[in-house]
């Protein structure tokens, strides 16, 4: 255990977050995402829902302030009537931890998969909400 580090953050995840540089991307994937077949580096967080994990990650991980939308979600497939209510929960967490956050970038499903293949790492969670996948672009910590 470490002081001020959430027990949701595994040692492997701390290592990956620390290795990442400015502009590197972290995919936080739901339980349906093909994480193992896509990831360059796969970190497992099986059984954990994304919202508390996202909140814990954002205590350590600065978002990129030099891009318009440092957080991206996978768009709902056209014709699918599902409304991803989890996105609003993500917005609340992002606005609380990153005051400059305004809006997500919405990425078409296959484009999201291609971008995930280039991401520094994929964090596979146990999140069961549909369309819960998220990409975060790492920023810098200003002295």
Catalytic site positions: 22
Report yes or no: 127 and 12 within 8 Å, Cβ to Cβ.
no
Measure the CA–CA gap between 70 and 18, rounded to whole angstroms: 18
CA nearest to 117, candidates 39, 29, 43, 36: 39
Taking the CA atoms of the chain, what radius of gyration do you get in angstroms?
Answer: 14
35 burial (CB, 10 Å; 0-12 / 13-18 / 19+) is buried
* HSE-CB for 71 with a 13 A CA cutoff: 24
Contact predicate 13/58, CB 8 Å: no
């Amino acid at each position: 255990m470490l002081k001020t580090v959430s027990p949701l953050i595994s040692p492997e995840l701390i290592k990956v977050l620390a290795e990442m540089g400015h502009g590197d991307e972290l995919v936080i994937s739901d339980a349906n995402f093909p994480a193992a077949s896509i990831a360059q580096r796969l970190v497992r967080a099986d059984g954990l829902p994304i919202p508390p994990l996202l909140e814990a990650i954002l205590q350590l991980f600065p978002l990129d302030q030099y891009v318009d939308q440092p957080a991206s979600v996978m768009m709902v497939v056209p014709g699918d009537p599902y409304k991803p209510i989890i996105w609003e929960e993500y917005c609340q967490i992002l606005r609380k931890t990153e005051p400059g956050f305004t809006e997500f970038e919405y990425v078409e499903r296959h484009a999201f998969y291609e971008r995930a293949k280039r991401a520094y790492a994929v964090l596979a969670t146990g999140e069961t909400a549909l369309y819960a996948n998220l990409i975060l672009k790492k920023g810098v910590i200003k002295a």
